[in-house]
């Protein structure tokens, strides 16, 4: 009994010390602090282990590094853009109207505004991957891929075969995958690509079997850069399920962009930073990876990144600024809707101001706790007059926001705390009426495949669902 008492007392003291760290040293937001204190209090031993695996704060840690010359060059470009933005905006009504949003991204993420980009949008997996495979086949110099999930299935093998063949042809092929998201990726897949001359690295790999203290911080980005001229960004990962082949999810409805123009250079810089974090074979930021951009379009784009290493939640702040700028409507598509207080307040203000706020979510969960927390938060919108649609034609995984048919955001960040604070994300902010209008049209088309969720229907949910919502919402800040 004395040994048991000693162990219990030791664990209690460790729990108290950990609670002190959470409250006083890490300076988390209040909701996350209370959620962790609840976990530590209710399940002391398991909670302690969960905190070590999922709760450590990466904020202010230097994870991604620029060389001095490239950093100075970027700072000069950003400074010049900030000084010349008002003059440039005089020639473009969209830039004029949203210059404060542009300036915010310049100030807090050094997100360079690029002009004359050409844009192609995909909402279907097969179409997207057909285009990607064709672009990979045309690669002449280098192929850079970063994906959260790479499956070892038919699509994964198809892309792997193309990458290996291009590597044997002399094209520099580099694949970066998230260690947790792609945990099912086989060693044979990796070995085959490396033997062909390609390079493969994992982001935040586990140092010990089954234990990874950084497993909670995932690289959720999906990027492809080909020859520094063509780029891809959006929600599709690599796997058969994204072609609609998984009967559990059915048709996979996502949104992805293919870009040509100066924005590809921003995607390239993002990849190089992530690659250099994961690999000891560092890439330079020299002109070699930034050839003269093809400027055949008229789309203005900022590529904005965020992650747990940053002081500011750049993508979330961009969402809030977009919402508060709305004059007519806000359309949001997201698989998870778990906004923090600041974003939820922005949506409330928009609804109270008479803005048409519509949120579309899937009708099936891929993460049960997250789904029921989502259901709880959409109830908040319904109660005050927001409109909610449940997508029925498969699984909705798109991460898009459209405001007034003038600006839009497409990328990897969901409307949830994990994307805002825990994951490494990247989004394209589009300042282009036609592109935003196209995304608004897609939303309307998806409404045909959706069922409106009314306040009356929501209030008829069962006690079981209400219980699931309450528990999920309670722990939503750490989901």
CA distance linking residue 129 with residue 239, whole number of Å: 10
Question: Is residue 227 flagged as an active site residue?
Answer: yes
In terms of Cβ atoms closer than 10 Å to its own Cβ (0-12, 13-18, 19+), residue 176 is: buried
Interhelix angle 341-352/368-384, rounded to 10 degrees, is 30
pLDDT in tens, 401-436: 999 999 999 999 999 988 998 899 999 999 999 999
What tokens does 464 get? 């079981």
Q: Which residues share a beta bridge with 51?
A: none
CA distance linking residue 175 with residue 300, whole number of Å: 28
SS3 label, residue 447: helix
List the catalytic residue out of 144, 265, 316, 397: 397
Identify the CA nearest to 388 among candidates 331, 432, 434.
331
List the catalytic residue out of 142, 222, 321, 468: 222
What burial letters (b/e) apply to 326-352, b meaning 16+ CB within 10 Å?
Answer: beebbbbbbbbbbbbeebbebbbebbe
Distance from the Cα of residue 156 to its chain's centroid: 21
Q: Which residues share a beta bridge with 426?
A: 305
Q: Which residues share a beta bridge with 176?
A: 146, 201
Handedness of CA 342, 344, 345, 347 (dihedral sign): positive
What burial letters (b/e) apply to 100-119, b meaning 16+ CB within 10 Å?
Answer: ebbbbbbebbbbbbbbbbbb
Question: Is residue 82 flagged as an active site residue?
Answer: no
Question: Which are the contacts of 80, defined by CB distance < 8 A and separation ≥ 6?
Answer: none
Handedness of CA 386, 389, 390, 394 (dihedral sign): negative
DSSP state of 291: P
Other Cβ atoms closer than 10 A to 390: 18
Return the beta strands (E) in 59-218 as ranges: 113-124, 142-147, 172-178, 199-203
List the catalytic residue out of 124, 404, 416, 446: 404
CA distance linking residue 314 with residue 420, whole number of Å: 8
Q: Which residues share a beta bridge with 119?
A: 259
pLDDT in tens, 155-185: 999 999 999 999 999 999 999 999 999 999 9
CA distance linking residue 382 with residue 359, whole number of Å: 10
List the catalytic residue out of 128, 166, 220, 468: 220
Question: Is residue 142 flagged as an active site residue?
Answer: no
What tokens does 418 get? 């994990």
Contact assessment for residue 398 and residue 235, using Cβ atoms and an 8 Å cutoff? yes
Q: What is the predicted pLDDT for the residue at 371?
A: 79
Question: Is residue 397 flagged as an active site residue?
Answer: yes
User: End-to-end CA distance of the chain, in Å?
Assistant: 37
CA distance linking residue 261 with residue 99, whole number of Å: 21
Other Cβ atoms closer than 10 A to 364: 15
Interhelix angle 125-138/154-168, rounded to 10 degrees, is 10
> Which H or E run contains 252?
strand 252-260
Tens of pLDDT along the chain (479 residues) come to 577 677 666 766 766 666 666 555 555 566 666 666 666 666 665 666 566 556 556 555 667 776 666 777 788 888 988 888 888 888 999 999 999 999 999 998 999 999 999 999 999 999 999 999 999 999 999 999 999 999 999 999 999 999 999 999 999 999 999 999 999 999 999 999 999 999 999 998 877 666 666 677 899 999 999 999 999 999 999 999 999 999 999 999 999 999 999 999 999 999 999 999 999 999 988 888 999 988 889 999 999 999 988 888 999 999 999 999 999 999 999 999 999 999 999 999 999 999 999 999 999 877 777 878 888 899 999 999 999 999 999 999 999 999 999 999 999 999 998 899 889 999 999 999 999 999 999 999 999 999 999 999 999 988 888 877 777 776 665 55
Contact assessment for residue 435 and residue 298, using Cβ atoms and an 8 Å cutoff? no
List the catalytic residue out of 142, 316, 399, 432: 399
CA distance linking residue 265 with residue 175, whole number of Å: 18
Question: Is residue 399 flagged as an active site residue?
Answer: yes
What tokens does 24 get? 């006083």
What tokens does 160 get? 């792997």
CA distance linking residue 411 with residue 421, whole number of Å: 16
List the catalytic residue out of 227, 254, 274, 340: 227
Question: Is residue 404 flagged as an active site residue?
Answer: yes
> Which H or E run contains 358?
strand 356-362
């Amino acid at each position: 009994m004395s040994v048991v008492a000693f162990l219990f007392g030791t664990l209690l003291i460790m729990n108290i010390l950990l609670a002190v760290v959470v409250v006083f040293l890490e300076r988390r937001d209040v909701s996350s602090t209370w959620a962790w204190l609840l976990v530590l209090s209710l399940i002391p031993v398991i909670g302690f282990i969960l905190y070590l695996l999922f709760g450590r704060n990466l904020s202010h840690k230097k994870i991604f590094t620029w060389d001095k010359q490239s950093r100075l060059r970027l700072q000069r470009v950003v400074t010049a853009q900030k000084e010349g933005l008002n003059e440039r905006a005089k020639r473009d009504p969209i830039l004029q109207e949203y210059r404060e949003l542009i300036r915010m991204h310049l100030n807090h993420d050094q997100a360079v505004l690029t002009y004359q980009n050409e844009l192609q949008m995909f909402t279907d997996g097969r179409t997207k991957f057909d285009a990607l495979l064709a672009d990979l086949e045309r690669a002449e110099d280098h192929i850079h891929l970063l994906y959260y999930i790479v499956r070892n299935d038919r699509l994964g093998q198809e892309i792997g075969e193309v990458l290996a063949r291009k590597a044997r042809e002399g094209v520099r092929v580099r694949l970066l995958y998230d260690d947790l998201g792609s945990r099912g990726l086989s060693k044979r897949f990796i070995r085959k690509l490396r033997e062909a001359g390609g390079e493969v690295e994992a982001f935040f790999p586990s140092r010990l079997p089954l234990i990874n203290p950084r497993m909670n911080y995932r690289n959720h980005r999906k990027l492809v850069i080909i020859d520094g001229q063509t780029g891809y960004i959006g929600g599709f990962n690599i796997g058969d399920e994204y072609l609609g082949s998984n009967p559990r999810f059915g048709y996979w409805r996502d949104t992805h962009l293919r870009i040509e123009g100066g924005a590809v250079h921003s995607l390239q810089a993002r990849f190089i930073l992530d690659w250099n974090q994961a690999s000891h074979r560092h890439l330079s930021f020299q002109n070699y990876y930034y050839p003269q951009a093809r400027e055949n379009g008229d789309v203005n784009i900022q590529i904005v990144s965020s992650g747990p290493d940053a002081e500011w939640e750049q993508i979330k702040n961009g969402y809030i600024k977009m919402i508060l700028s709305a004059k007519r409507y806000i359309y949001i598509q997201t698989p998870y809707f778990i906004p923090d207080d600041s974003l939820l307040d922005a949506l409330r203000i928009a609804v109270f101001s008479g803005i048409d706020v519509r949120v579309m979510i899937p009708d099936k969960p891929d993460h049960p706790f997250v789904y029921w927390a989502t259901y709880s938060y959409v109830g908040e919108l319904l109660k005050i007059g927001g409109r909610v649609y449940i997508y029925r034609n498969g699984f909705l995984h798109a991460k898009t926001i459209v405001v007034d048919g003038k600006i839009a955001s497409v990328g990897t960040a969901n409307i949830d705390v994990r994307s805002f604070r825990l994951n490494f994300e990247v989004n394209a902010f589009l300042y282009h009426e036609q592109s935003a209008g196209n995304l608004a049209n897609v939303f309307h088309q998806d409404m045909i495949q959706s069922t409106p969720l009314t306040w009356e229907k929501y209030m008829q949910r069962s006690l079981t669902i209400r219980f699931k919502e309450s528990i999920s919402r309670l722990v939503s800040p750490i989901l």
